[in-house]
């Protein structure tokens, strides 16, 4: 039997180089794959990976809101804040998706046509004139982007379901509306008042006694008030009309407690004697109250907004409860 020729040292060298090169290539490929995979998720929630493109979307959204809507400067502090907001939004969405089934809500409840519409709407929002695909730059493929939109819509369905559990009693609403009205009354209402301003408190007390005895407020204002001027009289075909001050542009404007007093009065009401900061004393009579918007509409708008606020707060409370029992492990290579 013929003997197989021995490989010379040159052949062995070539073989070793090839093997060594192959090993290096394999190692490099493994490192690249590991690095890509380690950067492909932002963290895990209850053991499930949350794709990094989800974080990128929320981070971009938060950045635009902070810079464009709130005028924050472009810089590292804004970027850090945007990242914090993005992480919270990321956790809220994935928590909602994980918990939706507990309320009988699944991906099967998400309308496919609505998914397509929302995908198209988001793409249009991020469309650039040069054709650059921002959605793809965030790391999305078409299928992963669809999944992301489905998750957002599932979160919305869960919010709507939980919102139906929130009820606001009429007593609770009345209390909240009263506070809201007090805080906003100066923006929706104009109060016009006749004013008697005198320099001595004793004189103001004497005038108040005359008012209580039935004397005419306008006559007393003409006779005694240091801020009255005949030019404040307006004559029209119905007779003589007395100019009334807008309380927001009157001596009361610099004293919030007195201004609040005026806004709490009704047409025809007369105040007590009130001291002004300049040492004078004032008595007012409410001449007119002008509402700059329909009060029924104002109340209805507040009711809608108040109910939405209560629903949002309740949903956030549920999210906080779920967060306490969930295990979030951030990917330090992405989130630091």
**Higher pLDDT, residue 276 or 236:** 276
- pLDDT of 21 reads 47
- pLDDT of 235 reads 47
Whether residue 20 is predicted with pLDDT greater than 90 in this model: the reply is no
Whether residue 240 is predicted with pLDDT greater than 50 in this model: the reply is yes
Using CA atoms, how far apart are residues 173 and 304, in angstroms rounded to an integer? 11
Contact yes or no for 155/97 (Cβ under 8 A): yes
**Higher pLDDT, residue 34 or 38:** 38
Burial label, 78 (beta-carbon count in 10 A; 0-12, 13-18, 19+): middle
Dihedral pair phi/psi, residue 39, rounded to 5°: -100, 5
Contact yes or no for 233/222 (Cβ under 8 A): no
Residue 250 is classified by DSSP as S
Lowest-confidence range among 102-106, 186-190, 221-225, 229-233?
A: 229-233
Contact yes or no for 125/278 (Cβ under 8 A): no
**To 5 degrees, how large is the angle CA 117–CA 118–CA 119?**
90
pLDDT in tens, 248-259: 878 888 898 998
- pLDDT of 26 reads 42
- pLDDT of 25 reads 45
pTM score, whole prediction: 0.64
Percent of the chain having pLDDT more than 90?
60
Structure tokens that stand for 276 in this block: 């002004």
Using CA atoms, how far apart are residues 165 and 158, in angstroms rounded to an integer? 11
In this prediction, residue 97 has a pLDDT band, given cuts at 50, 70 and 90, of: very high
The arithmetic mean of pLDDT across residues 48-54, rounded, is: 94
pLDDT in tens, 215-224: 999 889 989 9
Percent of the chain having pLDDT more than 70?
84
Alpha carbon separation from 34 to 31, 37, 40, 331 (Å, rounded): 5, 5, 10, 14
Name the nearest CA neighbour of 56 among 82, 35, 93. Answer: 82
Burial label, 205 (beta-carbon count in 10 A; 0-12, 13-18, 19+): middle
Domains and CATH numbers, the chain: 42-164+311-328 (no CATH), 185-291 (3.10.50.40)
Using CA atoms, how far apart are residues 268 and 193, in angstroms rounded to an integer? 9
- pLDDT of 13 reads 60
Whether residue 36 is predicted with pLDDT greater than 70 in this model: the reply is no
3-state helix, strand, coil in the chain (%, to 5): 65, 15, 25
pLDDT in tens, 169-203: 999 999 998 898 878 877 788 888 999 999 999 99
SS3 state of residue 43:
strand
Using CA atoms, how far apart are residues 264 and 5, in angstroms rounded to an integer? 112
Whether residue 260 is predicted with pLDDT greater than 90 in this model: the reply is no
Burial label, 293 (beta-carbon count in 10 A; 0-12, 13-18, 19+): exposed
Please, where are the H alpha helices in 126-216? Answer: 134-137, 142-163, 170-188, 201-212
């Amino acid at each position: 039997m013929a003997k197989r020729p021995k490989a010379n040292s040159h052949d062995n060298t070539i073989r070793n180089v090839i093997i060594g090169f192959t090993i290096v290539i394999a190692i490099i490929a493994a490192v690249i794959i590991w690095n890509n995979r380690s950067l492909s998720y932002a963290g895990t929630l209850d053991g499930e990976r949350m794709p990094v493109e989800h974080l990128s979307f929320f981070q971009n959204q938060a950045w635009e809101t902070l810079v464009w809507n709130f005028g924050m400067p472009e810089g590292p502090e804004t970027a850090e804040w945007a990242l914090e907001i993005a992480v919270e939004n990321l956790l809220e969405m994935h928590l909602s998706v994980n918990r939706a089934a507990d309320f009988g809500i699944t991906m099967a409840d998400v309308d496919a046509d609505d998914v397509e519409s929302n995908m198209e709407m988001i793409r249009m929002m991020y469309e650039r004139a040069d054709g650059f695909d921002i959605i793809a730059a965030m790391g999305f493929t078409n299928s992963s982007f669809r999944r992301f939109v489905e998750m957002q819509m599932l979160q919305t369905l869960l919010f709507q379901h939980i919102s139906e559990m929130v009820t606001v009693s009429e007593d609770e609403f009345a209390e909240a509306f009263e506070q809201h009205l007090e805080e906003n009354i100066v923006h929706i209402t104009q109060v016009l008042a006749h004013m008697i301003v005198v320099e001595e408190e004793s004189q103001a007390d004497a005038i108040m006694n005359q008012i209580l005895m039935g004397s005419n407020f306008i006559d007393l204002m003409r006779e005694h008030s240091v801020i009255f001027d005949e030019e404040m009289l307006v004559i029209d075909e119905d007779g003589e009309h007395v100019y009334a001050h807008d309380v927001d542009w009157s001596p009361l404007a610099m004293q919030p407690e007195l201004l609040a007093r005026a806004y709490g009065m009704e047409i025809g009401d007369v105040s007590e004697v009130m001291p002004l900061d300049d040492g004078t004393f004032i008595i007012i009579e409410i001449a007119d109250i002008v509402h700059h918007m329909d009060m029924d509409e104002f109340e209805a708008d507040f009711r809608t907004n108040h109910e939405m606020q209560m629903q949002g707060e309740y949903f956030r409370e549920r999210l906080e409860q779920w967060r306490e029992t969930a295990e979030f492990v951030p990917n330090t290579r992405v989130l630091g």
